[in-house]
Every structure is written in C-alpha cells, then in structure tokens.
Amino acid sequence: MNQGIVVSKFGGSSMADATAMRRSAAIAHKQNSSIIVVSATYGTTNILVELSKMVTTATWENCKSTIQKIIDNHLSIASELEVPSQCTNDLDEMFKELTTLVRGMNLLKEATPKACDSLFSLGERMSSRLFSECLNQLRDDTEIECFDVRKVLRTNSQYGKAAPNFEEIKKLADQHLLDVKYAGRVFVTQGFIGKDANGATTTLGRGGSDYSAAILAYALGAEKLEIWTDVAGIATTDPRICPDTKPINVISFQEAAELATFGAKVLHPTTLLPAMWGDIPVFVGSSFEPEKEGTWIRKNPEERPLIRAMAVRKDQTLLTLKNPNMLHAHGFLFNVFKVFNNHEVSVDSITTSEISVSLTVDDSTLLNKNLIRDLEELGEVHVEEDLSLVSLIGNNINHTPGLASDIFNALGDINVRMICFGASKHNFCFLVNETMVPEAIGRLHKRFIG
C-alpha cells in the first residue's frame, strides 16, 4: 500500500531564489514526489545564526537591519513568484514572529539554545511556505499542502542537536500524513526542525534537512528518497582537492555512510541510518543539472570495488598520552576514556601501544584546559594540530593482502602521522599534515581510481 511514496529533499541552493525554486518545483513534479522537504533559502540559516550571536551585544537597531535582510530576501522571492495574498500574510506573520523573538532575546541579552532553535526554525518555515506556492502554480491537478513538520517530527529536548523519537514519529506520521498514501496529496514541508514532548521547537543540527527527509521516508515506508543538491551526486573525491575525480553512479549504504562521516560534504552523516533501516534507496542529484546521472545509494550494488572513493576530514587534532608505568598494567585505556566521557568529548580514531595511546578529536577547542588537566593525571600529554584525516573507502579493505603496502608505496615520501586499519571492512584512514593533503589524495587517486 505504501508503495510509490517518493520523498524529495531540496537544499538551500535549490531554494536560493525564484528561479531555483521553479527549477526544483519542476523536478518535484517530474519525479512525482509526495513529500517534499526543503531547507531554508540559501544563506538564511547563516544569517539567523549570526543574529543569535549578535543579540547579546548588538543594539536593537543593528539587529533590526539584519532582520530586514531576511525579510527583503523572502519578499523579493514572493514578488517574483507572484504569490497570492494568503501566502504574503503567512509570511508577514512569520516576519512578526522573527522580530518579536529577536527583540525578546535582545532585551534579555540572552540566546538560550531553546530560543535559538525557535529562531532558526523560521528559515525552513518561510522557504517551505514560498515553495509550496511555487509548486502549486505548476500543479493545478493536485492539492499541495504546506505542512508543519513539527506535528510529526517529535524529538527529545536537546536543543541545537535534538534526537528524533522514531516510534512517536511513525505514529504521528500515520495520523497526519495518511493522505500521502491514500489520497495522492502532496506535502511540502520543512527539514531541520522538530518539536519536543513539551511542544517547544527543536532543530536536528546544522545541515539536518537531509536527516529530516530520511526520517520521514523511513516513517512512511517510502519507495525512495531523493536528495537534490548543487552537485551531481557523490564523486570519487573532492574535486577542489583533486581535479581527476569521477562521478560515482552506485554506492552501498555502508560506503556512503563512511564517506559522509569521514568528510564528504554531500550528505549529512546521520542521513543514511533511517534509509538503511528501511532499505530505502537514496538518490543524490543536482537540481541545477537534473539530467545528469547522479548517485544511487543502495543496499547491494553489483560492483564492490576495493577502493571506491576518498574523503578528507580537516582540522584534526591528535592527542598522545604516554605513561611508561602502564607496561603490563590494566585499566589505562579505561581511565583515559573515562576522562573523555566525563567531558562529553567524542574520540574519532585511536591507535595504542602498551604504554601510550594516540587519538583524534574533531575540533581542538574540545580539548579544554580541564580535560587536559585530567588527562595529565594519567600521563604525559602531547597535542598536535593542523592535521587532516585521509580515508580510502571501499570494500573488503581489511582482508585484502598487499593493500597496505600499495597505499604506502603510492604515498612515497609523504609522512603519515597515524594509521587506522583493520577495524572496518570499508575504511582505511591515516593522518597527514594538512599541507600534504592534495599531494596524498592525488597520488592515491591515480593509483587506485585512475
């Protein structure tokens, strides 16, 4: 019965202006999308974030002129699309909400995470309202509803990075989105935002609209999930680093998840989980060049190459902790990780020897003074910055004889600071100095992808 539901997500650049919206609407129409999830118009979330930072220090006059930028952008799209007055009224209501909210935050000189989420939600709420009109103009055959996703996207109350409650979302989707299944109704809705059990607005974290679309696709048992962005799918590596990249036509869920986690910017890393659970194929394509092939992410692609792609994660910090007394003692790693746990800092990669451990974190600011002080009680601490994590992603990586030597032969004289190998079938990664990344990727791409 649920067969045939297509969930399509359009990112900020696909919502940038009236032209981009019309192009995206044409795609949604052609693809027969039933649920269309949109991001805020290009740059709007950044301005909202900027506002949330300035409220504590700036004058009301300054805040107002930043608010005006957002209003003007949306009004200019509205006027170009020639939307009906009902739509302009709805937008006006949201502009009022925006102004009142910022005024309140500015008076209090306080930007709580809860207030920020309400503020940030306006970007997606405004763009979806505009886009629903744009689609409506194209499709007089179907009823298009601009749907408030907060009615179904239940999350916990961790503002700024709320976690979805899948069980509740499934129930709520069955209550509110049944017409998708049975009446062929089309819903335009917001990515990125949700609501907690107390009714407060939450957000899933920056870039979270992909995740929203995947959550809805899962909740509705969709047939496919489409992510329309500004690049024609996933490439073998970042074209800004290596000009020889090639498009990837098909890739497995696991490989794509590794790619997203290890630095490819095309997809939000958590997106693929719900799609994997629901075995929902995911398409990534460009709304600017919809005729290009794009990338399909599937459970079982026919081809399983040893190395499919390469990713780079920048700004890595390597922390090494050494304690010679740990020779043959137990509990060293336990105590190290207890410190990270107490400070709620996530560790990404790790290698150990008997008396030392090296690990990476994503952001050097996470290594605050207190964390370092606690670690220093366990041994000598050494921190290195300006490193990048280079990953080779593919299949059967940890069971292929000779691969490590091929990788190091290709790297030649490039100094490798740390290696992670063996834990994953799909990933081989190592740290190099940031400045060596283009050379390392260039050599490896030539050797393994061609």
> Which spans of this chain sit near Mg ion (rule: CB under 5 A)?
11-12, 39
The residue with its CB nearest to ligand ASP is: 209
Alpha-carbon distances, residue 108 vs 60, 64, 395 (angstroms): 12, 16, 54
Q: Which of residues 270-329 bind ligand ASP (CB under 6 A)?
A: none
* First CA to last CA distance, the chain: 45
CA–CA distance, 60 with 167 (Å, rounded to integer): 43
Q: Are strands 186-190 and 201-203 parallel, antiparallel or unpaired?
A: unpaired
Determine contact, residues 440/382, Cβ cutoff 8 Å.
no
At 144, list the tokens.
């298009």
123 binds, among ligand ASP, Mg ion, none (CB under 5 to 8 A by kind): ligand ASP
CA–CA distance, 61 with 304 (Å, rounded to integer): 58
Q: What is the DSSP string of 157-193?
A: S-TTSPPB-HHHHHHHHHHHSHHHHHS--EEEEESSE
- Among the listed residues 8, 39, 73, 391, the single contact to ligand ASP using CB under 6 A: 39
| CB 191, min distance to ligand ASP, A | 5
Q: Facing residues of 381 across strands?
A: 321
| CB 209, min distance to ligand ASP, A | 3
- Tell me which residue has tokens 């060293």: 332
What are the backbone angles phi and psi of residue 222, rounded to the nearest 5°?
Answer: -65, 160
Comparing CB distances to Mg ion, the nearer of 11 and 123 is: 11
At 27, list the tokens.
């795609």
Give the helix/strand (H/E) hosting 170.
helix 166-176
- Among the listed residues 40, 188, 357, 411, the single contact to ligand ASP using CB under 6 A: 40
| CB 228, min distance to Mg ion, A | 11
| CB 206, min distance to ligand ASP, A | 4
CA–CA distance, 97 with 87 (Å, rounded to integer): 15
At 85, list the tokens.
């007055």
Comparing CB distances to ligand ASP, the nearer of 128 and 360 is: 128
Comparing CB distances to ligand ASP, the nearer of 40 and 420 is: 40
Q: Which of residues 57-86 bind ligand ASP (CB under 6 A)?
A: none
Comparing CB distances to ligand ASP, the nearer of 217 and 357 is: 217
| CB 284, min distance to Mg ion, A | 13
**3-state secondary structure (DSSP) of residue 321:** strand
- Among the listed residues 45, 52, 286, 427, the single contact to ligand ASP using CB under 6 A: 45
| CB 28, min distance to ligand ASP, A | 17
206 binds, among ligand ASP, Mg ion, none (CB under 5 to 8 A by kind): ligand ASP
Q: Which of residues 98-127 bind ligand ASP (CB under 6 A)?
A: 123
Q: Which residues of 319-346 are buried (b: 16+ CB within 10 A; e: fewer)?
A: bbbebeebeeeeebeebbeebbeeeeee
| CB 81, min distance to ligand ASP, A | 20
At 104, list the tokens.
């309140």
Contacts 24+ apart (CB under 8 A), 401-408: 403/306, 403/428, 404/428, 406/447, 406/448, 407/444
Alpha-carbon distances, residue 8 vs 58, 119, 216 (angstroms): 39, 25, 10
At 211, list the tokens.
């995740």
Comparing CB distances to ligand ASP, the nearer of 118 and 236 is: 118
274 binds, among ligand ASP, Mg ion, none (CB under 5 to 8 A by kind): none
Site string for ligand ASP, 171-210 (x = CB under 6 A): --------------------xx-------------xxxx-
At 233, list the tokens.
């799918």
Q: Which of residues 201-260 bind ligand ASP (CB under 6 A)?
A: 206-209
Comparing CB distances to ligand ASP, the nearer of 210 and 432 is: 210
Q: What's CA 288's distance to the chain center, in Å?
A: 20
| CB 271, min distance to Mg ion, A | 11
Comparing CB distances to ligand ASP, the nearer of 208 and 269 is: 208
40 binds, among Mg ion, ligand ASP, none (CB under 5 to 8 A by kind): ligand ASP
C-alpha R_g of the chain = 24
Residues binding ligand ASP: what is the number (CB under 6 A)?
A: 12
Angle at 276 between CA 297 and CA 341, to 5 degrees: 115
Q: Which of residues 135-174 bind ligand ASP (CB under 6 A)?
A: none
- Among the listed residues 7, 10, 12, 427, the single contact to ligand ASP using CB under 6 A: 12
| CB 268, min distance to ligand ASP, A | 7
| CB 337, min distance to ligand ASP, A | 31
Comparing CB distances to ligand ASP, the nearer of 205 and 305 is: 205
52 binds, among ligand ASP, Mg ion, none (CB under 5 to 8 A by kind): none
| CB 408, min distance to ligand ASP, A | 38
Binding site for ligand ASP (CB under 6 A): 11-12, 39-40, 45, 123, 191-192, 206-209
